[in-house]
Chain A
């Protein structure tokens, strides 16, 4: 067990956990930030996507010891009131079915659009291909990312 001082959504948090504990479980079990989801645990599906220094990362395979003083943003901290352009587009397009994958999808899309504000459809698909949606909402995700890019 070790102590970690994490910067999450602009606040610092102290946790005492084993150093191999994935950031995902620190968020969910220790900090009550349950918007970041567990689905595969092996970096295959993207349900656990968070931003680390603005980069979309799979939190399920990121040991807490590797986070250091990096800035972590979770879906809860993406915007104040759900008004990030990506969240708004997700609402506008009504993207979700079960919704379980969508926090991860939104986080991937938000990081991607920051880097590439005017993406082509191919670029959107390449970026979003790392996130699985078992309900098959891919058409709507693509539409919402394109919409967010326009409304930014």
Chain B
């Protein structure tokens, strides 16, 4: 059904024609208080590509330029956003050019990538941008062809008259459309009429990526630029003394600069810096707690036993429930710190001048990068530009601005444009990690195996709230206590793909499996029973939609033939995060007496699937990521220093270790929600539960391969 939608007039820029006859229709993608009329000829549109703001523009020759405001790190928003605009516009996709917009918060809201939030935020805005433009073009065509507007339809950048052979192209109409008022309301398409949305449109950057064109931050080379690498201090330490004599003697090193807790080696090219950095003799001294993994273990135990904790949620009378229980199940789960390890290490270009700065590089939050730079250097925000390069992965690390600010500070000290490159070792030791956490779960069952009490205490290292207190099974259990304890560690932490849920989901879904078994119930039936309680007699506040949760549970059980084949040992897991619902089943089969992890089946409810290829990438990628880190990922510390500094000791999953993955979606009418994160959380639990089903071993800590039970499992994770 087509819908009519109110346009916020301030959402759309006015239309302008130039004196030279070249023209542009501009539509902003977001509200702004003072719409500026952009007057640019076609040539200028293209020539000034990086200098002006977010538009959908159409030139008289029919060329369409769409700007993508959000940083691109592999979620392929640079294709899917323009697809939405172009679909509502009925544009000829072959004539659409997509450009990455620089930071401009006059024009854009939420110009960041994180939290799987870009799609829900922008869906309607993008549709309106395209629909409004089309409406104006149709109005202009009606006047020009002298027919009623209702008798016209648009297709591939052309407008046709139903009852005659009359037709006219968008390019020819631009001038006239420019003179019209933006309407109060515009019709949006009936989803069944989408032409691009829901189709596998190819990534608009394929050619550049696959022929090695400069796209990423590390590919930025500017005239007069120097390179720098920085030795940063271990956590909890500060510099006591620096002997840079040997480093300075390396040919190609121009300078060594000490600032804050950093020692920067500066040169014209990268390799001499890598050598020189290793020759720095830096003495550190404690500047706070200097922690090792050993200390973290002790702290976790203390936090779980601490008398007091922050209460996150309380329903009913938990003490009574546990007192009256027929059976109590308690278990602890542990997950380590993890670096983000994007394939492109952190880096940034900065050119700071007297009262202005130019920043270029891979950031998920250009606005934060600018604000923090402005604050540090005392430069007005409006004098700082940020150009966003393509990001060679982010996973949350690039939400921080430390790597931008240090480059800016160094540029100011050197009075030169500088690109700071992090080595892999710098990237792994540079902090901002996924926090380490430990959970203690307890469940109280009555005689009939009903869960009458549920307790969770989460303890984290700089983890903030380690729980998701209103998430399942809250709402389905009458007596609940959820608590949180946090330790302020000197080891820095930050969002890591699916923050908190990336380990909480594994722990919780494994524990629920333990409870189901104790209740002698099938794990899927047990979850459904709880969900039905949450639906019929919900307890307290629910942070999830019970029907959608049930939908993916039933969907995954069906797609994976849950419990149908005795030779397949299965593990189930379901999680709601970042507005999407994902259930997964992991299958282990015995081959020559050896358990082999064969496949993972995922059923997702993310509303309308805008871009099937992009969605498939995110779901598979999330599962591969979830599996890789559950199996191998570990970052341990000795005296404030991470021990796993490169890919020889920090193990990432490889092709041969990846099982078959089957991806399904529920066709639901909800507005599209993001997928960058939600497929990851369920994976660890599905695998752990399958391992239990196949071997009777319960893996209560990650990474799995480092658990003492693991070696005896003889688990084969290669595809057979």
Contacts and interface: CB of A to CB of B under 8 A. Distances in A.
Interface of A: 1, 17-18, 20-22, 25, 28-30, 32-42, 44-45, 47, 74-76, 78-79, 81-82, 87, 90-91, 94, 96-103, 106, 125-126, 128-129, 131-142
Given A25-B270, A140-B620, 11 more contacts: A37-B344, A42-B424, A47-B343, A76-B212, A81-B211, A90-B210, A94-B202, A96-B206, A126-B656, A134-B341, A135-B393
A30 B75 CA distance: 32
Interface string B52-78: 000000000000000000000111100
Contacts of A103: 209-210, 212
Contacts of A41: 274, 423-424, 646
Given A47-B343, A75-B211, A134-B342, A97 B613 contact: no
Contacts of B345: 38-39
Nearest to B341: A134
Given A18-B252, A34-B219, A135 B74 contact: yes
B609 to A, nearest CB: 15
Contacts of A106: 210
Q: Name A's interface SS.
A: loop
Contacts of A47: 343
B621 interface: yes
10 contacts: A29-B270, A34-B218, A38-B421, A40-B647, A45-B652, A75-B211, A94-B202, A103-B209, A135-B343, A137-B617
A1 B661 CA distance: 51
A132 to B, nearest CB: 5
Nearest to A141: B655
Contact of B344 (A39, A82, A87): A39
B487 interface: no
Given A45-B343, A100-B343, A139 B661 contact: yes
A100 B200 contact: no
Interface in B620-642: 620-625, 628
Given A99-B392, A100-B216, A132 B343 contact: yes
A84 to B, nearest CB: 9
B271 A22 contact: yes
B620 A132 contact: no
Contacts of B393: 97-98, 100, 134-135
B194 interface: no
Contacts of B613: 94
Nearest to A45: B647
Contacts of A94: 200, 202-203, 206, 613
A28 B218 CA distance: 9
A105 to B, nearest CB: 10
Nearest to A91: B206
B344 A100 contact: yes
A89 to B, nearest CB: 10
B416 interface: no
Ranked nearest first, the 3 interchain pairs of A and B with the lowest CB-CB distance are A35-B212, A136-B624, A100-B392
A102 B345 CA distance: 15
Given A99-B74, A103-B210, A134 B270 contact: no
Contacts of A87: 210-211
B405 to A, nearest CB: 23
A129 B218 contact: no
Interface residues of B, number: 64
B619 to A, nearest CB: 10
Nearest to B652: A132
B692 to A, nearest CB: 25
Interface centre among A21, A87, A97, A131, by most B CB within 10 Å? A97
A108 B628 CA distance: 22
Contacts of B76: 97
A136 B213 contact: no
Interface string B484-508: 0000000000000000000000000
B390 interface: yes
B388 to A, nearest CB: 13
A38 B393 CA distance: 13
Given A37-B344, A44-B648, A97 B74 contact: yes
Contact of B271 (A29, A40, A42, A82): A29
A75 B212 contact: yes
Interface of B is mostly: loop
A30 B628 contact: no
B624 A138 contact: yes
A99 B214 CA distance: 12
Contact of B658 (A32, A39, A139): A139
A81 B719 CA distance: 35
B207 interface: yes
Contacts of A100: 216, 342-344, 392-393
A21 B271 contact: yes
Given A18-B272, A42-B646, A98-B390, A132 B202 contact: no
Contacts of B655: 125, 128-129, 131, 133, 138, 141-142
A98 B343 contact: yes
Nearest to B718: A125
Contact of B719 (A17, A28, A125, A131): A125
Given A18-B272, A138-B624, A44 B646 contact: yes
A21 B648 CA distance: 21
Contacts of A28: 218, 270
Nearest to A87: B210
B379 interface: no
Nearest to B206: A91
A119 to B, nearest CB: 13
Contact of B269 (A20, A25, A75, A76): A25
Nearest to B342: A134
Contact of A40 (B205, B213, B625, B646): B646
A1 B268 CA distance: 14
Contacts of B343: 37, 39, 45, 47, 98, 100-101, 132-135
A80 B626 CA distance: 38
Contact of A1 (B206, B251, B275): B251
B309 interface: no
A74 to B, nearest CB: 7
B233 interface: no
Interface string B416-456: 00000101100000000000000000000000000000000
Given A44-B648, A90-B210, A97 B621 contact: yes
B623 A136 contact: yes
A40 B621 contact: no
Contacts of B342: 98, 100, 134
Contacts of B200: 94
A103 B719 CA distance: 25
Contacts of A101: 343
A18 B647 contact: no
Given A41-B423, A44-B648, A98-B392, A91 B624 contact: no
Nearest to B424: A40
